[in-house]
Amino acid sequence: MSVATPTTATGVGLRFTETAMEYPDGTVALSGVDLTVEPGQFISVVGPSGCGKSTLLRLASRLEEHTAGEVAVDPSALAYVFQDATLLPWRSVRKNVGLFCELRGDGKADTARRVQEAIDLVGLTGFEDHFPHQLSGGMRMRVSVARCLTVDPGVFLFDEPFGALDEISRQKLNDDLQALFHDRKFAALFVTHSIAEAVYLSTEVVVMSGRPGKILDRVPIPFAYPRDPQIRYSEEFAHLCARISTSLAGKEH
């Protein structure tokens, strides 16, 4: 294996080139991943548990370092939505959303404007002074997304953000995220366990194999945005889900 080259800034977007990640104990989490996410692309990653899907995001955000190949991304344009909403429980919705501006040292007026914009955009107007423990799981995820929006991200990383939600909240958030993507045209890398969610949201679904994580199949999703929630029940949607499901199953046995 060649020595890892450092992460380099590109314009906007995210590129993995022959990226590999091996833990010190010799476990290979990822090997030879080639993947580019351009602005306006929404790429979902599905795969069995422990296949390194989340590792992909942690490498992209430099929370962990790759051991071979290259990861190119502009870290200042990066936003990461975790599995958990990771809100600070002692801060109100407004102060949670404003955290990134605060850490960046933005001025008060500028912060207030960005925060209000983001809160309005995720549909939490009127909840600015609530605390996280007063919100439902879906609303907390919305706060988490709003917090990311305040830094105008060019690249959005999602780590199974809606996995813990009930089906109805999840669909609602999917609809809203899809609309947001259509509006903002950022580059999105979305990790999920739900094939239907992946197909509904994405421009392309990437299927990964179990350990070590490799890309098995890439399925372009042809539906135009904005997408009607009803496409979930179309025949073409079912075919795409079936194809992804088959690729997943094919390598698991």
Partner 1 sequence: MSTETVGASALARPAGKTTRKNRKGSYLADFGLPLLVLALIIGFAYFVTYVVLAEDRRFLLPPLHEVIQVSFLDADNRNQILEALWRTTVIAMVGLAISVLLGTVFAVVMASARWLERSLFPYAVVLQAIPILALVPLMGFWFGFGFTARVIVCVICSIFPIIANTLFGLQSVEPGHRDLFRLRGAKPGTVLTKLLIPAALPSVFTGLRISAGASVIGAIVGDTYFRQGDPGIGILIDLFRSRLQSEQLFGAIIASSLLGIVVFAFFTWLSRRLVGHWHASGRL
- Which of 49, 47, 59, 55 has its CA nearest to residue 208? 47
Residues 71, 7 contacting (CB under 8 angstroms): yes
Minimum distance, C-beta of residue 240 to partner 1, in the bound complex (Å): 25
Stretch that binds partner 1, among 46-54, 99-107, 188-196, 202-210 (CB under 8 A): 99-107
Residue choice 5, 27, 136, 245 for contact with partner 1 (CB under 8 A): 136
80 and 148 Cβ atoms separated by less than 8 Å: yes
Site for partner 1 in 18-57 (CB under 8 A): none
Phi/psi for 3 (5° steps) reads -70, 140
The residues, any chain, with a CB within 8 Å of residue 180's CB and separated by 6 or more, are: 121, 145
State yes or no: residue 15 binds partner 1 (CB under 8 A).
Answer: no
Q: Is 179 in the site for partner 1 (CB under 8 A)?
A: yes
Choose one: 7-15, 21-29, 130-138, 210-218; the region binding partner 1 (CB under 8 A). Answer: 130-138
The answer to whether the beta carbons of residues 252 and 198 sit under 8 Å apart is: no
Residue 46: alpha-carbon gap to chain centroid: 12
Distance of closest approach, residue 97 Cβ to partner 1, in angstroms: 13
Please tell me whether residue 88 binds partner 1 under the rule CB under 8 A. Answer: yes
The answer to the question of residue 100 lying near partner 1 (CB under 8 A) is yes
Choose which of 5, 134, 245, 246 interacts with partner 1 (CB under 8 A): 134
Phi, psi of 237, rounded to the nearest 5 degrees = -60, -45
Side-chain half-sphere CA neighbours of 243 within 13 A? 17
| Per-residue x/- track, 107-126, partner 1 (CB under 8 A) | --------------xxxxxx
104 binds partner 1 (CB under 8 A): yes
**What gap in Å lies between CA 155 and CA 38, rounded to an integer?**
9
Which amino acid appears at position 43 of this protein?
I
Name the residue nearer to partner 1 (CB basis): 70 or 176: 176
What residues are paired with 220 via a beta bridge? 204
Cα–Cα distances in Å, from 79 out to 24, 52, 158, 253? 27, 19, 9, 35
Asked if 161 touches partner 1 (CB under 8 A), the answer is no
Q: How many residues are there in the chain?
A: 253
User: Exactly one of 180, 196, 216, 231 binds partner 1 (CB under 8 A); which one?
Assistant: 180
Q: Which of 133, 220, 230, 253 binds partner 1 (CB under 8 A)?
A: 133
Between 166 and 236, whose beta carbon lies closer to partner 1? Answer: 166
Tell me the C-alpha distance between 79 and 46, whole Å. Answer: 20
**212 sits near partner 1 (criterion: CB under 8 A):** no
Question: Which parts of this chain interact with partner 1 (CB under 8 A)?
Answer: 61, 63, 75, 78, 80, 82, 84, 86, 88-90, 99-100, 102-104, 121-127, 130-136, 138-139, 142, 169, 172, 176-177, 179-180
